Amino acid sequence: MLIATTDPTDPYVTDDDQPRTALSDLATALTDTVEGYAVMADKAAPDVQPVLERFLALHRAHMDRLRALIDEQGGDPTNAGSMLGTVHKVLAHTRDTLGRLDDRPHDIILRTEARVEDRYQTARDALDEHAVIQSVLAAQHAALREHVNALKY
């Protein structure tokens, strides 16, 4: 996590922490996704690699902007990721070892992106009074939806 606590029920979390908390949770989700996709891209079939690379490029660009926003809000943007990211890497490696990474990679990507989209929506809902941040998140969320829709159809 990027700040000490993100639990909104924690009595030490104040309204001033809300932007950092929302951005931190989103950054953690993106970091976990990038870590999992990086492992998958190394092991995926040639027709799947370009899809993963497109999502990786999108998420990495979004992370760069999120890190700047977190820094502007007084957070520490250098420590993103969670145990879930480690789990994603292990699962990708295990699926590859068992020969199942390429069974339905598009389904894996769509499920992962649905979770990321949920995090975007949660962050946007939490930051509705922060116009600049809201604008950045709306643009990133729209770009993500375009990528997901292109994969679906």
Residue 1 confidence (pLDDT) above 70: no
Q: Which two tokens stand for residue 6?
A: 């993100």
Q: Are 38 and 59 in contact (CB under 8 A)?
A: no
Q: Residue 14 contacts by C-beta under 8 Å, 6 or more apart in sequence?
A: none
pTM exceeds 0.85: no
| CA–CA distance, 61 with 27 (Å, rounded to integer) | 12
pLDDT tens, residue by residue, 9-57: 444 344 556 777 888 889 888 988 998 898 888 888 888 899 999 999 9
Buried b (16+ CB within 10 A) or exposed e, 91-117: ebeebbeeeebbeebeebbeebbeebe
Q: Which DSSP symbol is given to 72?
A: H
What rounded mean pLDDT belongs to the chain? 77
pLDDT-derived band of residue 86, with 50, 70 and 90 as boundaries?
very low
> How many residues are there in the chain?
153
When mean pLDDT is compared across 23-32, 53-62, 70-79, 106-115, the lowest value belongs to 70-79
| CA–CA distance, 107 with 5 (Å, rounded to integer) | 32
pLDDT-derived band of residue 118, with 50, 70 and 90 as boundaries?
very high
Q: Which two tokens stand for residue 1?
A: 């996590």
Q: Tell me the H-state helices in 44-104.
A: 49-72, 83-97
